[in-house]
Structure 1
Amino acid sequence: MKKASILMIVGPLLLLGLYIFPLWYIILGAPQYPDPLGMNIHISGLQGVNEFDIQNIDGLNHYIGMQTLPKPEDMWEFSTFPMVIGIMVALGVLIGILGYLNKVSYKWFIGWFLLMSILGVLGMYDFNQWLVDYGTDLDPNAIMKLTNPDGTPMTYKPPLLGHVKMLNFDVTSMPATGGWLMFVGMMLTLIAGFLGWKTSKKPVKN
């Protein structure tokens, strides 16, 4: 149980990387931009990959009526997510320490993993809803009004994950360093739960 408990301590600690590294990134590439425009999505706000990327993205979006990119004070998520991550890290480390001291069973490890998974799914759903609103709620007085072949207004929702072609832009959305650290950390807690379960199945020696 001690090996499992050590993994249970290390796993949540990897989530602290979210305070340093971006969780996600979106890259926009086009022939007129030799250096693609990029946006890093941190749990506390948005940052351009390069110095003027956010400004340039907002400038492009203005022509088609998209909203300006939100500042930290514009979205409750940017103040709530850091607190949630901090609570989950502290809870996970506490569970790991208690497991090391044989005060709790492996079921608590699995419980933490399931709770973090649910929070992760809810976070991804919220992020996708923001992308939908960002790409479809367009200013009717925009300079450029583009339509689909059937005459319906064109939408500009970036992909949640993967690549899509929007006009002459190639848009790619992928996990960044913080996202991968979170994934590895969660996998370690799952392995901890599995090792704890295996340990519990071993016969007790008299």
Structure 2
Amino acid sequence: MSRKMSVSSVILSCISAVLLGVSIFFPWWGMKFIAPQYPEGLDIIVYPYKMDGRIDIINGLNHYIGMQEFSEQTFPELSYLPYLVGGMALLILIVALVKRTRLLLLLVALFSVGGVLGLYDINRWLTTFGTNLDPKAPIQIDPFVPPILGENTLANFVTHSYFATGAFLMGASFLLLVMTLWRERKK
């Protein structure tokens, strides 16, 4: 598997790198909170470098159940994640230029580990915020963990957690790498 990659595999790898690099500029994950008093919903939108949405209102509501406030400063990952993703995109381009299939296998493994760590990190934060509730909060609820993906109901709020455009671009980037590796394996 140390032979050189085909031209079509080099092109697919370059497209993968571009998709991954572009994903930095789109939201990766979000949550929408819907309740009778907020029928249009309140959003938390997470980019790899910032948070957007109605975080001020959500923090105000979370205060009543004793959840700590969150902001971009709460998540140190937002300060370095774009560099990790950009570095990975650059590695993919370098591997495409040196055309080594074995290096492609290492990239797929590295990408996989990064994806698992990313999902673990999201779950860790959701667990931390949902289970470390202030016992002196005005409204007492049982600790909870919002899902990474899917629906959750808490009091009169229904939350929808979802992956966004950047996550789909990242997934497409990964699938292109896997497809390229698969094509090269067959040669």
Shorter chain as denominator, the TM-score bin is over 0.9
- In structure 2, the partner of 1:202 is none
Shift in Å, 1:80: 2.1
User: What is the CA–CA distance in structure 2 between the aligned matches of 1:87 and 1:111, rounded to whole Å?
Assistant: 14
2:131 aligns to what?
136
CA distance in 2, matches of 1:19, 1:91: 16
**Matches of residues 74-89 of structure 1 in structure 2 within 5 Å?**
74-89=74-89
Does residue 14 (structure 1) correspond to residue 8 (structure 2)? The answer is no
Letter in 2 for 1:20: F
Counterparts of 2:86 and 2:47, CA distance in 1: 14
- Once the two structures are superposed, what CA deviation does each residue of 1:20-79 show, in whole Å capped at 9, x if it has no partner? 11111111111221201111111112110xxxx1111011101111011222x3322111
Aligned residue among 25, 33, 54 for 1:28: 33
The answer to whether the 8 Å contact 2:24/2:85 transfers is no
Counterpart in the other structure of 2:69: 68
Higher-Rg member (1/2): 1
User: 2:169 matched to 1:181?
Assistant: yes
Q: RMSD over aligned Cα, in angstroms?
A: 1.3
Is residue 117 of structure 2 the alignment partner of residue 117 of structure 1?
Answer: no
CA distance in 2, matches of 1:10, 1:126: 27
SS of the equivalent of 2:52 reads strand
Q: Which residue of 2 aligns with 1:59?
A: 60
Q: Output one character per residue of 1:169-190: Cα deviation in whole Å (capped at 9) or x when no partner.
A: 1111111000000000110111
What are the equivalent positions in structure 2 for 1:97-176 lying under 5 Å apart?
A: 97-99=97-99, 104=100, 106-146=101-141, 154-176=142-164
User: Taking every aligned residue pair, what percent have the same amino acid on both sides?
Assistant: 34
SS at match of 2:41: strand
Question: Unmatched 5+ residue regions in structure 1?
Answer: 147-153, 200-206
Q: Which of 171, 175, 190 is 2:178 aligned to?
A: 190
Aligned to 2:9: 4
Q: In structure 2, how many angstroms separate the alpha carbons of the residues matched to 1:76 and 1:55?
A: 19
Gaps of 5+ in 2: 1-5
Letter of the 1:18 counterpart: S
* SS state at 1:111 partner: helix
State the aligned residue count. Answer: 182
How far apart are residue 90 of structure 1 and its match?
0.4
Once the two structures are TM-superposed, the CA of residue 89 in structure 1 deviates from its matched residue by: 0.5
SS for the counterpart of 2:186 is: helix
Q: Counterpart in 2 of 1:44?
A: 49
The residue number in structure 2 matching 1:204 is none
